[in-house]
Amino acid sequence: MTVVPLGPDRLRDIVDVDAWGFPSSHPLDDQVAWPNALPWGRTYGIEDPSHPGRLAAFHSSYAFVDTPVPGGRLPIAGLTWVCVHPQFRRQGLLRAMMTAHLEHCRAQGEPVSMLFAAEPAIYGRYGYGLAARQVNLTVPRGAALKPVAEDGLSVRIEHFDYEVHGALVARLHRAVDRPGWVTRPNEQHERSFLSESPGRKGDFETLRILVIERDGEPVGYGLFRRKFAWGTTGPAGTTRVVEVVAEEPSVLHAMWTRLLDFDLTTEVVTPNLPADDPLLSILVDARAAGARTQDNLWVRLVDVQAALAGRRYQTDLDVVLDVTDAVLPHNAGRWLVRAQGDEVVVERTDRMADLALDVQELGSAYLGGVSLTELAAAGLVVEHTPGTLARTSVAFGWHRAPVASWVF
């Protein structure tokens, strides 16, 4: 099977296959007209050999050139739009595309690939490990918050207008330094994410924005949509928060105070929150928000040496990892990881291994959100040198939990 590049002339074919994989009630012509962020030059497909020109599968990836990892930033490939027409399932098309994707990552100098998994059971076969978990809340309207001084902040709530608010959203989102916090890479992608297409809007209102300012300067924003409903006892509307950027305690408090108290609503549904999101701490009754945890980012180390050298560690480290990788053999073997402050050296070694693990588990631990001790307790990391597991697990951790605030 040959993986071939696809251009904008194949958009209709791509959307058609995508609709086979992810069924939609919307007509194909409508879906083709929706804004999309497909990066031509990074979109590939496989054609049906018995019907030349008929697309059987495709995938794409975004170039996230400046993605936060613990203590650093790296170019990362965001694998996306992976789809196989149901007629061609179980014929090796996905494996062919995954092989091609990882080869393209190496060629473009992207040591890490990330994705959101529609079906989590699939991607472990290709070396991806669950690296970030998200928390989802459904908060009752008017939920009490612990007091935090709002420090002279002002608030404005407006219809979202890309020409007015697009640069503000992009600037504040890119300023966040949290592992895994991928940013929309260009205006095309921003416009697609912030569009009013049915896939984004659903049966909610048009996009709104809540901007927090200090001395006239935006310091935080919240994107949201509401849906009106009437129950047997009165108003039963929902506020769906699309994205929040609020890095200071006072900004966070001001943001959620307003988002949690719109008239004619009874609940507020949160976006992808990290496991350590401050909202969980300032809610007086967090239990009432019904916290649910699910997978967020999956990480695959394409180049183990470059990936491990490109991040920083919480403590000094001198450890030998014996890594297995059935898909990318160049990653397999014993790697010495030596870190002292900002100086990190990763190199092959003949020294005896301290820990043994597969590249999937190394991907899980990479962003600091899944500990090596957790993985070892599950039998997925083996300690050869007593005491090295705990020390290495602490070193691989990070002071902020990883998350991607939006699904790419």
For residue 20, the model assigns a pLDDT of: 95
| Integer Cα distance of 206 and 225 in angstroms | 6
Count how many Cα atoms sit within 13 Å of the Cα of residue 264 in the half-sphere of its side chain.
Answer: 5
For residue 52, the model assigns a pLDDT of: 83
Return the closest-CA partner of residue 304 out of 79, 105, 46, 122: 105
pLDDT in tens, 294-315: 999 999 999 999 999 999 999 9
**136-295 maps to which CATH number?**
3.40.630.30
Evaluate whether 3-110 and 136-295 have a shared fold.
Answer: yes
Fold of the domain spanning 304-396: Nonspecific Lipid-transfer Protein; Chain A (3.30.1050)
For residue 211, the model assigns a pLDDT of: 98
- The helix (run of H) or strand (run of E) holding residue 294 is strand 292-295
Q: Where are the domains of the chain?
A: 3-110, 136-295, 304-396
Top-level class of domain 3-110: alpha beta
Whether 322 contacts 353, CB under 8 Å: yes
| Integer Cα distance of 239 and 25 in angstroms | 24
| Integer Cα distance of 245 and 229 in angstroms | 28
For residue 150, the model assigns a pLDDT of: 85
Q: 326 - beta bridge partners?
A: none
- Residue spans of the chain under pLDDT 70: none
> Which residue has 């098309």 as its token pair?
93
For residue 302, the model assigns a pLDDT of: 98
| Integer Cα distance of 348 and 357 in angstroms | 15
pLDDT in tens, 73-103: 999 999 999 999 999 999 999 999 999 999 9
Cβ neighbours for 320, distance < 8 A, ≥ 6 positions apart: 334, 335, 336, 337, 349, 351, 352, 353, 354, 355
